[in-house]
Amino acid sequence: MNRRQFFAAGGLAATAQAMSAQGRPAHSADEPQFKTVNLQADGLALNPREYVALLGKLVEERPPQPDYYSTGGAVEELEHKFAQLLGKEAAIFLPTGTLANHLAVRKLAGADHRVLVPAQSHLYNDSGDCAQTLSGLNLIPLAPGESTFDVAEVRSWVERSAAGRVATPVGAIVIESPVRRKDHEMFDPGAMEQISSYARQRGIRLHLDGARMFTLPYHSGKSVRDYAALFDTVYVSLWKHFNGASGAILAGTDGFIQGLFHTRRMFGGSLPQAWPEIALIAQSADRFEDDYARAWKSANELIALFESDRRFKVRKLAGGTSRFFLTVQGTAPAALIERLSQKSVVLSQPQPDTGMIPVQVNPTLLRTTPAALFRTIVSSL
Ligand SMILES: Cc1ncc(COP(=O)(O)O)c(C=O)c1O
C-alpha cells in the first residue's frame, strides 16, 4: 500500500486505534491539542490525533518516500541521518530497541558467547532473555543495583573467563546510559572511557544501549558523537525522544551493518511499510537537544518556585539526567495527580516506598511557562 492508498483506506484511523491500544491514555475528541504538559514521558507523547495531524501536514508539505520491507525511501534517509548524527559509517532501522540490542550483541559476540552486561539493563531484565534463548549467548550481569561498573570488574571477568578449564572468552560488553532502571542516571563517563580502551586492547567488542543518549550532552558536556566513538555499535530509540510511533537505530561500521537486514527479516523485524512509524522523526531529532536544554531551563525555574514554597520538596540525582523528584506535603499525591490530569498536566504516580513523584523533563514543558505551571499545580493542592 502506498501513501495515497493508506489515506484512502482509512489507515490514519487504524494508526490512531493501534496507538491508543498500546496502553497510552485514551483521548477525548474535545481535548485541546498540543497543550498537554506530560511530565511522565521522554518526548511529546503525541496522542493519536496529534500524531495524525503532524503526519498529514508532513505528507502535504514534504511527502515521505515509501519504503519496502523497511528498505529504501524514508527509512534509508533516516538511517543515513542517524549514522551521520552519531558519527558512524552506517546504520540500520529496526522496529524496536529490544531487537536492536539483541542483533547487536548477537553479531558482536560471534562465536565468543559470553557477554558482560549491566545487571540493571533493559537487555538483562526486560527482553525476555531473547539473547540467551534465541542466540545462545551467556549474559553475565555486572554491578547489581548500580548505574555504573568499573574497568576492574570487567577485567576480573575477562581474566576469569580466559582462565577456565574450557576457553570461554568474553565476546562483547554492553553499557546502558542513561540507565532507565536507575531513574535515568548516567553511566559514569570516566569509567566508560576506561572500559572502552581496555576492551579495544583486548579485542572485545563494545555495544551502547543509548536508547535515551541524546539527553547526555546537556548533562555531561560530551556530544553524542563523543559517546558513540567509544563503542563498536550504538542503539538509539526513535520513539522515546523523537516522536516516532516505534523504532530504533543501530549504528556501526559499514562492515557490521551490511547484510544485517537479512537477520532483521529472519527475526520478523522488517515491517513491510515502516514510513508511517518514522516519518516525524527526522524533524524531531534535529531539534531535540535544543528543546531539551530549553526544557531544563524551564524545569529549573519551576524547581526554584517549588523550593520557595514549604509545601514542596525537590530532589535531584547526582549524575542524573531527565528526572527529578517532587514531594508534596498536606495533599494526597493521588488526588493531586487526578486533579492535574483534568487540567492537561500528566504526572507519574509516587514511588510506593518514598512517596516521591518522579518528574520527567521533556519538551512538553515548553507548552507553558514555569509560573503558569506552578500556579496550576498549587491550585490543584
Ligand atoms: C534502556 C532501554 N533499552 C531498550 C529498550 C527497548 O526499546 P523498545 O521498547 O523499542 O523495544 C527500552 C525501552 O523501554 C529501554 O528503556
* Structural domain of 146: 73-278
Residue 162 lies in a domain: yes
Among 125, 180, 242, residue to substitute to test ligand 1 (most atoms within 8 Å of Cβ) = 180
Please check whether residue 245 lies inside any domain of the structure: yes
Give Cβ neighbours of residue 364 (< 8 Å, ≥ 6 apart).
Answer: 36, 37, 38, 39, 41, 44, 45, 295
331, 380: one domain: yes
- CA pair distance 326, 344, nearest whole angstrom: 18
Output the nine-digit C-alpha cell for 366.
515548553
DSSP state of 9: T
Predicted local distance difference test score (pLDDT) of residue 89: 98
Given 256, 278, 300, the domain boundary residue is 278
Collect all residues with Cβ–Cβ distance below 8 Å to 103 and sequence separation of at least 6. 94, 250, 260, 263, 264, 267
Check whether residue 39 and residue 80 sit in a common domain. Answer: no
Fill in the amino acid letter for 52.
V
Asked if 192 and 230 count as a contact pair (C-beta separation under 8 A), the reply is yes
Q: Is there a single domain that holds both residue 37 and residue 179?
A: no
What is the 41 CA–ligand 1 centroid distance (Å)?
13
Report the pLDDT value the prediction gives residue 167, as an integer from 0 to 100.
86
Low-confidence spans in the chain with pLDDT less than 50: 1-24, 26
How far is ligand 1, taken at its centre, from the CA of residue 97, in Å? 5
- CA-based radius of gyration for the chain: 22
Protein residues with CB under 6 Å of any ligand 1 atom: 96-98, 101, 122, 176, 180, 209, 211, 237, 248
User: Which ligand 1 atom is the nearest neighbour of the CA of 176?
Assistant: 1
Write down which residue in 251, 278, 305 finishes a domain: 278
Q: Which helix (H) or strand (E) holds 359?
A: strand 357-360
Q: Do 377 and 266 share a structural domain?
A: no
Ligand 1 pocket test target in 40, 103, 121, 122 with most atoms within 8 Å of CB: 122
pLDDT for res 4: 43
Angstrom CA distances, 178 to 185, 244, 376, stand at 5, 20, 30
> Looking at the domain assignment, is residue 366 inside a domain?
yes
> What is the per-residue pLDDT for 232?
98
Question: What does the CA dihedral 35, 41, 43, 45 come to, rounded to 10 degrees?
Answer: -50
For residue 32, what pLDDT is reported?
80
Cell numbers found for residue 90: 552506517
- Please name the residue whose Cα sits nearest to atom 14 of ligand 1: 122
| Cα 174 to averaged position of ligand 1 atoms, centre (Å) | 14
Cell of 3: 501513501
Q: Which of 182, 247, 176 is nearest to 212 (CA)?
A: 176
* Range 261-297 burial, b when 16+ CB lie within 10 A, else e: bebbeebebbbebbbbbbbbbbebbeebbebbeebbe
Expressed in angstroms and rounded, the spacing between residue 200 Cα and the centre of ligand 1 is 26
Does 87 lie in the same domain as 174? yes
In a domain, 300, yes or no: yes
- Contacts of residue 300, defined as CB under 8 A and 6 or more positions apart, other chains included, come to none
Q: Is residue 117 part of a domain?
A: yes
| CATH code of the domain containing 341 | 3.90.1150.10
Greatest CA separation for the chain: 68
Is 274 found in the same domain as 293? no
Query: How many independent structural domains does the chain possess?
Result: 2
* 223 shares a domain with 83: yes
**CA–CA distance, 50 with 247 (Å, rounded to integer):** 19
1 and 122 belong to one structural domain: no
Ligand 1 center–CA 122 separation, angstroms:
6
Give the cell for residue 53.
Answer: 495531524
Could you give the CA distance from residue 208 to residue 227 in angstroms, rounded to a whole number?
9
Spatial contact of 279 and 64, defined as CB atoms under 8 Å apart: yes
Same-domain pairing of 28 and 90: no
Mark residue 45 as left, alpha or beta (left: phi above 0; alpha: psi -120 to 50; beta: remaining): left
**Is the CB of residue 206 less than 8 Å from the CB of residue 196?**
yes
Please give the Cα distance from 318 to 211 (Å, whole number). Answer: 20
Q: Are residues 162 and 46 in the same domain?
A: no
The answer to whether residues 310 and 257 belong to one domain is no
**Any idea what the CATH number is for the domain that residue 132 is in?**
3.40.640.10
Residues 6+ apart with CB under 8 A from 143: 118, 119, 120, 149, 153
pLDDT at 71: 97
Cα torsion for 231, 234, 240, 242, to the nearest 10°? 110
Q: Whose CA is nearest to atom 7 of ligand 1?
A: 97
The last residue of one of the domains, among 214, 243, 278, is 278
Question: 68 in a domain, yes or no?
Answer: no
- Ligand 1, pocket-test mutation among 126, 185, 207, 235, most atoms within 8 A of CB: 126
Residue 11 belongs to some domain of the structure: yes
Identify whether 331 is part of a domain.
yes
Residue 159: all three cell numbers together: 581474566
Residues 87, 155 within the same domain: yes
